[in-house]
A and B are shown apart, each in its own frame.
Chain A
């Protein structure tokens, strides 16, 4: 490689991806690159030393993109569009060589940069799945596979675990806490209510008026204990279904009145929501939520159906409204993820959150109005054109590969000879037609089949069915493996899993292109031969009555390993025959 190497190619220089590009000539040497546009008046000249270029990228041959070479430097990148991909490859070569000369040798990087989070994830996965741990011990501890290779095929497991980290949000309990059952002592005229921070939070979410009152009254006007006392007094009055008493109490105590009358805030919110709804929806169904009371639709909580006078309607709540409000809040879920110890802070944070969400809702409403909502029920059925894939567990193939084993164990190629037909088509068709006319003339054979033959066939069938039952297990769920003793079964399954893993790594390293892969295939081959001999051992050491079954089970595994070994030998021979390539390529 001479240092006066240079490459001159026609190219277009683009400042950005969208730029059509100025045509010109690109000259690359190992020190610098020079671009001269065809148009002498244009000032898109580029002359830059390779020391300033940080990296280089290019578009792939197989994709539909044009051949671009992208050289990055500290303030941006230069993009050159070349005429064809072979030019691109030549330029890329030179750029690669030039850059490697000017860049400092990279610091020695450890084999894999693992963050502590990843390490803990891997350890956790290994601890949870004993089979995985066993496999890991077998393969990595004994040096057959390196850590990175092992985990490379387990990416799916690692990714899955990431999503598991998201904690599940616990929502509200759905029990109507309106009916927080008080404990009452039969003797004293007192009822006791239990309150936990959890319940307080739920009350705030459910009843914005109470929330507002809490913020206003506590601790300025009354203490927390008093506040809750008043609240439960109001609840109690509600539950006694005595609207007149409620009115009386409300008139007496202003604060109590807050709890007894309707929740204005909820009303406002409901009105806003009603406005947001798509006008094509049926609003009849929503009457139950409406806080502008329509007496004939509400189911009154006290069971009575009479319409009340105007002033007393303030002190009723309908069951439907309560239920709807409760379910609304439960579905919304807890928006706060903090501990509930301080009701005051909880209340404040809730209030702030509500304000923030209002702005967002307004914008959403505007967007929604501009779009048309699609009503799902009225759309055509989306018939999926693709049937779901039916991917089976490879362990099932244990049983189904037996016929192949049988075939190769017994008759090799004996039955596969080609049947030869010496007749021309005329004669062949003629003979068929003859048979048909024979039947037409004579009718069916009489008797159709002799009773001895029929009996023999029935016997044969029965024996066949019952023998497969005893050999392969009573039902289709049982398999040959269950007949074998436990230790043999465990060993076989372990070897199976191990050999599958090794084969997967082995086959994925072909075609062999780098020295790393050569070493890897050698390691795989050694591991595979080890397992092969272990399987051989198992076969030989099986008890005599089970030997046939064991060999049937082991045979397909050995076949797969054989195929791998054969392929390895053939490949090694091919590579050696080709001779060593220049520059250490394999």
Chain B
């Protein structure tokens, strides 16, 4: 029940762009430890590169205040670690991640004291799509790209418009967005992303088997998905957030020109500046009352 246009893949060379949630506030409140999570993810990333020599891997960290590339398998700046204890992938990634966290911390802004701020998923999705566009233009023999979002923080409704734009551009370029969501409730944005682009949304029920989930479900390349049976999502939460307050709403007003959604009546659309007409009798009754008073 996907709405993405189906594409025929000739081979299984893939470019996997992983967006890794590094929201420190989320990780400190999550029962599963970040180091265990990260080690399983690192093993998974290594296995992707092992599956094929031509496979490419890019990792983007999704922080609270910024996003950044922390690993690119095609770059020639990868060097082995100084003491040779671990492969270049791990040492490079960890090194870059540390630097990223330091930069991200500097950009911290004060937030509401007890709540967990959301991570910038829209930013990392946009960066992923930009990288993929460059890969498309690298020649006729480019690998088949897909995006994997490893996300735990809740959706920030203020990012609704940006995320939907990223999703639609991914749909247009036929880039599936898979989501492995590890938070407590299902993420509406990621469900919609996977539904619209034809990817897989899965929420692993057991965190200590994360590597098994990743390698069984998310390591599959696009060519093989034609004949493999992967978990189907039961349903998608299609609710939108309103454009004025960024709250999730069920019922609202829609501008008939640009289809932006508002939760309360406005005189003018804030997106396309079209004036909403008023019902005639409202004006007449107002004038009537005015005249009666005078």
Q: Chain B 64-90, CB within 8 Å of chain A: the 1/0 string?
A: 000000000000000000000110001
Q: Which residues of A contact B289 (CB under 8 A)?
A: 582
Q: Chain B 137-151, CB within 8 Å of chain A: the 1/0 string?
A: 000000000000000
Chain A, residue nearest B259 (CB) = A389
Expressed in whole angstroms, the minimum distance between the Cβ of A574 and any Cβ of chain B is: 14
Expressed in whole angstroms, the minimum distance between the Cβ of B61 and any Cβ of chain A is: 11
Answer whether residue A423 sits at the interface, using C-beta atoms and an 8 A cutoff.
yes
Q: Which residues of A contact B36 (CB under 8 A)?
A: 445
Q: Which residues of A contact B285 (CB under 8 A)?
A: 581-583, 585
Answer whether residue B52 sits at the interface, using C-beta atoms and an 8 A cutoff.
no
Q: Is the CB of A456 within 8 A of B108?
A: no
Answer whether residue B136 sits at the interface, using C-beta atoms and an 8 A cutoff.
no
Interface residues of B (CB under 8 A from A): 1-3, 22, 24-29, 33-36, 38-40, 42-43, 85-86, 90-91, 94, 97-98, 101, 104-105, 108, 114-116, 154, 168, 171-172, 184-186, 195, 204-206, 208-213, 216-217, 229-238, 250-251, 275-277, 279-285, 287-289, 291-292
Q: Is the CB of A476 within 8 A of B237?
A: no
Q: Which residues of A contact B204 (CB under 8 A)?
A: 457
Answer whether residue A15 sits at the interface, using C-beta atoms and an 8 A cutoff.
no
Q: Is the CB of A456 within 8 A of B209?
A: yes
Q: Is the CB of A400 within 8 A of B235?
A: yes
Q: Which residues of A contact B280 (CB under 8 A)?
A: 513
A404-B235, A445-B36, A472-B232 known; A431+B28 contact, CB < 8 A:
yes
Q: Is the CB of B212 within 8 A of A457?
A: yes
A465-B230, A476-B2, A563-B251 known; A453+B38 contact, CB < 8 A:
no
Expressed in whole angstroms, the minimum distance between the Cβ of B107 and any Cβ of chain A is: 10
Q: Which residues of B contact A432 (CB under 8 A)?
A: 22, 24, 27-28, 34, 101
Chain B, residue nearest A420 (CB) = B114
Q: Which residues of B contact A464 (CB under 8 A)?
A: 231
A420-B114, A421-B29, A433-B101 known; A468+B234 contact, CB < 8 A:
yes
Q: How far is the CA of A456 from the CA of B115 in the complex (A)?
A: 35
Chain B, residue nearest A567 (CB) = B251
Q: A435's contact among B33, B114, B115, by CB below 8 Å, is which?
A: B33
Q: Is the CB of B206 within 8 A of A428?
A: no
Q: List 5 A-B contacts (CB under 8 A).
A: A423-B25, A435-B38, A461-B213, A585-B284, A585-B288
Q: A420's contact among B105, B115, B195, by CB below 8 Å, is which?
A: B115
Q: Which residues of A contact B114 (CB under 8 A)?
A: 420-422
Q: Is the CB of A439 within 8 A of B108?
A: no
Answer whether residue A402 sits at the interface, using C-beta atoms and an 8 A cutoff.
yes
Q: Is the CB of A465 within 8 A of B28?
A: no
Chain A, residue nearest B289 (CB) = A582
Q: Is the CB of A420 within 8 A of B29?
A: yes
Q: Is the CB of B42 within 8 A of A444?
A: yes
Q: B25's contact among A61, A418, A421, A440, by CB below 8 Å, is which?
A: A421
Q: Is the CB of B238 within 8 A of A400?
A: yes
Q: Which residues of A contact B38 (CB under 8 A)?
A: 435-436, 439
Q: How far is the CA of A563 from the CA of B27 in the complex (A)?
A: 38
Expressed in whole angstroms, the minimum distance between the Cβ of A281 and any Cβ of chain B is: 35
Q: Is the CB of A461 within 8 A of B185?
A: no
Q: Chain A 552-586, CB within 8 Å of chain B: the 1/0 string?
A: 00000000000100010000000000000111010
Chain B, residue nearest A464 (CB) = B231
Q: Which residues of A contact B230 (CB under 8 A)?
A: 465
Q: A62's contact among B25, B98, B154, B277, by CB below 8 Å, is which?
A: B277
Q: How far is the CA of A458 from the CA of B211 in the complex (A)?
A: 11
A448-B39, A449-B40 known; A392+B3 contact, CB < 8 A:
yes
Q: How far is the CA of A99 from the CA of B61 in the complex (A)?
A: 71
A419-B29, A423-B28, A428-B28 known; A436+B184 contact, CB < 8 A:
no
Q: How far is the CA of A365 from the CA of B216 in the complex (A)?
A: 70
Q: A453's contact among B172, B209, B275, B276, by CB below 8 Å, is which?
A: B209
Within 373-424 of A, Cβ neighbours of B (below 8 Å) are at 387, 390, 392, 396-397, 399-406, 415-416, 418-423
Q: Which residues of B contact A511 (CB under 8 A)?
A: 279
Q: How far is the CA of A405 from the CA of B250 in the complex (A)?
A: 14
Q: Which residues of B contact A415 (CB under 8 A)?
A: 184-185
Within 46-62 of A, Cβ neighbours of B (below 8 Å) are at 60-62
Answer whether residue A93 sits at the interface, using C-beta atoms and an 8 A cutoff.
yes
Q: Is the CB of A454 within 8 A of B172?
A: no
- What is the size category of the interface that chain A forms with chain B? 35 or more
Q: Which residues of A contact B94 (CB under 8 A)?
A: 436, 439-440
Q: Which residues of B contact A62 (CB under 8 A)?
A: 275-277
Answer whether residue A425 sits at the interface, using C-beta atoms and an 8 A cutoff.
yes
Q: Which residues of B contact A239 (CB under 8 A)?
A: none
Q: How far is the CA of A438 from the CA of B90 in the complex (A)?
A: 13
Q: Which residues of A contact B2 (CB under 8 A)?
A: 476
Q: Is the CB of A428 within 8 A of B24?
A: yes
Expressed in whole angstroms, the minimum distance between the Cβ of A111 and any Cβ of chain B is: 21
* New A-B pairs, 6, CB < 8 Å, besides A60-B277, A436-B35, A449-B211: A397-B238, A399-B1, A439-B90, A440-B91, A456-B209, A465-B230
Expressed in whole angstroms, the minimum distance between the Cβ of B230 and any Cβ of chain A is: 7
Q: How far is the CA of A460 from the CA of B203 in the complex (A)?
A: 13
Q: How far is the CA of A512 from the CA of B230 in the complex (A)?
A: 49
Q: How far is the CA of A176 from the CA of B90 in the complex (A)?
A: 76
Q: Which residues of A contact B231 (CB under 8 A)?
A: 461, 464-465, 468
Answer whether residue A485 sits at the interface, using C-beta atoms and an 8 A cutoff.
no
Answer whether residue A152 sits at the interface, using C-beta atoms and an 8 A cutoff.
no
Within 450-490 of A, Cβ neighbours of B (below 8 Å) are at 453-454, 456-458, 460-461, 464-465, 468-469, 472, 476
Q: Is the CB of A399 within 8 A of B235?
A: yes
A432-B34, A439-B94 known; A427+B282 contact, CB < 8 A:
no
Q: How far is the CA of A461 from the CA of B213 in the complex (A)?
A: 8
Chain A, residue nearest B168 (CB) = A387
Q: Is the CB of B211 within 8 A of A403?
A: no
Q: Which residues of A contact B282 (CB under 8 A)?
A: 513
Expressed in whole angstroms, the minimum distance between the Cβ of B248 and any Cβ of chain A is: 11
Q: Is the CB of A436 within 8 A of B97?
A: yes
A400-B1, A400-B236 known; A425+B108 contact, CB < 8 A:
yes
Q: How far is the CA of A429 from the CA of B25 in the complex (A)?
A: 8
Q: Is the CB of B287 within 8 A of A89?
A: yes
Q: Is the CB of A403 within 8 A of B206?
A: no
Chain A, residue nearest B154 (CB) = A419
Task: Name the 7 nearest CB pairs between A and B, nearest first.
Answer: A403-B235, A428-B24, A457-B209, A435-B35, A62-B275, A457-B212, A435-B34
Q: Which residues of A contact B34 (CB under 8 A)?
A: 431-432, 435
Chain B, residue nearest A405 (CB) = B235
Q: Is the CB of A465 within 8 A of B206?
A: no
Answer whether residue A40 sits at the interface, using C-beta atoms and an 8 A cutoff.
no
Q: How far is the CA of A432 from the CA of B97 in the complex (A)?
A: 10
Q: A425's contact among B27, B105, B235, by CB below 8 Å, is which?
A: B105
Q: Chain A 163-180, CB within 8 Å of chain B: the 1/0 string?
A: 000000000000000000
Q: Is the CB of A445 within 8 A of B39?
A: yes
Q: Is the CB of B1 within 8 A of A421?
A: no
Expressed in whole angstroms, the minimum distance between the Cβ of B168 and any Cβ of chain A is: 7
Answer whether residue A191 sits at the interface, using C-beta atoms and an 8 A cutoff.
no
Answer whether residue A105 sits at the interface, using C-beta atoms and an 8 A cutoff.
no
A465-B230, A476-B232 known; A419+B116 contact, CB < 8 A:
yes
Expressed in whole angstroms, the minimum distance between the Cβ of B169 and any Cβ of chain A is: 8
Q: How far is the CA of A116 from the CA of B189 in the complex (A)?
A: 52
Answer whether residue A443 sits at the interface, using C-beta atoms and an 8 A cutoff.
yes
Q: How far is the CA of A415 from the CA of B22 in the complex (A)?
A: 23
A400-B236, A435-B38, A436-B94 known; A583+B209 contact, CB < 8 A:
no
Q: How far is the CA of A97 from the CA of B196 in the complex (A)?
A: 56
Q: How far is the CA of A583 from the CA of B287 in the complex (A)?
A: 12
Q: Is the CB of A514 within 8 A of B238?
A: no
Q: B98's contact among A402, A405, A436, by CB below 8 Å, is which?
A: A436
